[in-house]
Amino acid sequence: MKTRFLLLVCLLIQALWQPAQANVRLKDVVEFDGVRSNDLLGYGLVVGLNGTGDGLRNAPFTEDTMSNILERLGVNVTGEQFRPKNVAAVIVTASLPPFARAGGTIDVTVSAIGDASSLLGGTLVMTPLNGADGTIYAVAQGSILAGGAAAEGEAAREVRGVPTAGVIPGGARVEREIDFALDSLQEVKIALKVPDFSTALQIEQAINGAFSRPAANMIDPGTIVLDIRKTGARSISHALARIENLRITPASRARVVVDQRSGTIVMGEDVRISRVAVAQGGLTLRVEERPLVVQPNPFAEGETVVVPRTDAELEDAPPVALAEVAGGTSLSEIVAGLNALGVNPRDMIDILSSINAAGALHAELLVR
């Protein structure tokens, strides 16, 4: 009993001292050659709108499409004048997943291309979806789920979201399969989504370790070639199933991504900053127009004039005191040092740009 207890304690200590396992699966960082989706595109017509469709005078192609559809249904509209407001021309897009079979369904996105104000409540009429080769691979039809809302009155209009675009879940049915014989391949190229030498080497070692033989070979930082014959697997599908859940620790360059429109700053874990001193100030300019209307006295000669009045003010915001940002050894220390300056995110974007210009930011600065 005592021996068993000591054995359990030893196993527990060994588990606690082991390094943490990487939790990134291989299939989350790579793409397998040939296993990809294909984009589909179509032009169609949405009907059943509540007076929010295209103005046919501004979108004549909508009228032409509607006339062609009615004629195919046996309705003669030649020479007729019709101006409905419940139809809209749309572009339909979808993505055909790999190995999709005939009869399956896929989601589609519908977007107005005319001057329709909303697609809420509309129904997409049967629309063929073509691939890049011009072949029809799916046919879409169904009720549209728009993600916006619009309300209007006599003198005001309010729009939230984008009511001129929507989706149809499972709205397209696959009619043609893409010919691709996966099992006929003798080797498969594994492409990294973010090319990196050390990550590619980890993948090669992990795959060779899984098969206990040199079946994978790194040919560049973004590609590893897997020789199916050397894996000993029954088929290429079995080989990929064995390696897609292998755990690795992907490496990447240190980056600082800045979005100037929203003031968002994202830093990678490996970002480092050398020891620097930073001071930050601001300049505020205010210009206010207050025109004054001057009228003549009652029954006096003259005319009403508008006298311009402008108040302009320029002031210096109190600068932040000169602060030292110590050389950061971790992301948390860098964030703590920059937060100590007491500036908002937009000012911090300028600070990071200046630190990068001074050569103290040891990372790639990406400004969007």
Q: pLDDT tens, 243-252?
A: 989 998 888 7
pTM over 0.75: no
Q: What's the rounded mean pLDDT across residues 100-128?
A: 91
Largest CA distance in the chain: 117
Higher pLDDT, 353 or 174: 174
Over 90: is that where the pLDDT of 92 sits? yes
In this structure, are residues 165 and 109 in contact, taking their beta carbons and an 8 Å threshold? yes
Higher pLDDT, 365 or 4: 365
Over 70: is that where the pLDDT of 34 sits? yes
Would strands 255-259 and 364-367 be described as parallel, antiparallel, or unpaired?
parallel
Say which range, 61-70, 231-240, 319-328, has the weakest mean pLDDT. 319-328
Over 70: is that where the pLDDT of 172 sits? yes
Report how far apart, in Å, the C-alpha atoms of 165 and of each of 88, 97, 109, 146, 271 are: 11, 22, 7, 6, 40
Per DSSP, the residues of 262-280 read TTEEEE-TT-EE--EEEEE
In this structure, are residues 315 and 247 in contact, taking their beta carbons and an 8 Å threshold? no
Q: List all residues 6 or more positions away from 245 whose beta carbon is below 8 Å from its beta carbon.
A: 25, 26, 27
Residue burial 81-113, b: 16+ Cβ < 10 Å; e: rest: eeeeebbbbbebebebeeebeeeebbebbbebe
Q: What's the rounded mean pLDDT across residues 168-173?
A: 94
Burial of 257 (0-12, 13-18, 19+ CB in 10 A): middle
Using pLDDT thresholds of 50, 70 and 90, give the confidence band for residue 5: very low
Report how far apart, in Å, the C-alpha atoms of 21 and of each of 15, 17, 39, 184, 251 are: 11, 12, 37, 35, 15
323 alpha-carbon distance from chain centroid: 37
**Helical axes 236-243 vs 197-211, angle rounded to 10°:** 120
Higher pLDDT, 2 or 187: 187
In this structure, are residues 216 and 208 in contact, taking their beta carbons and an 8 Å threshold? yes
Distance CA 90, CA 66 (A): 12
User: Two tokens at 73?
Assistant: 């249904």
Q: 182-248 sits in which CATH class?
A: alpha beta
Q: List all residues 6 or more positions away from 124 whose beta carbon is below 8 Å from its beta carbon.
A: 44, 45, 46, 90, 92, 108, 110, 140, 141, 142, 143, 144, 168, 171
Percent of the chain residues past pLDDT 70, beyond the cut? 76
Q: Dihedrals φ, ψ of 280, to 5°?
A: -140, 135
3-state secondary structure of 203: helix
- Residue 57, by phi and psi: left (phi above 0), alpha (psi -120 to 50) or beta? alpha
- Cα angle 116, 120, 129 (rounded to 5 degrees) comes to 75
Amino acid occupying residue 26: L
**Helical axes 345-357 vs 331-339, angle rounded to 10°:** 110
In this structure, are residues 167 and 144 in contact, taking their beta carbons and an 8 Å threshold? yes
Using pLDDT thresholds of 50, 70 and 90, give the confidence band for residue 9: very low
Q: What is the pLDDT of residues 132-170, one digit of tens each?
A: 899 999 999 999 998 766 666 665 666 667 788 999 999
Distance CA 222, CA 244 (A): 17
Q: What's the rounded mean pLDDT across residues 7-13?
A: 41
Instruction: Determine the pLDDT at residue 315.
Output: 61
Residue burial 126-135, b: 16+ Cβ < 10 Å; e: rest: ebbbebeeee
Number of Cα atoms under 13 Å in the Cβ half of residue 368: 11
Say which range, 68-72, 106-110, 157-161, has the weakest mean pLDDT. 157-161
For the chain, domain boundaries: 38-174, 182-248, 255-367
User: Two tokens at 29?
Assistant: 């960082």
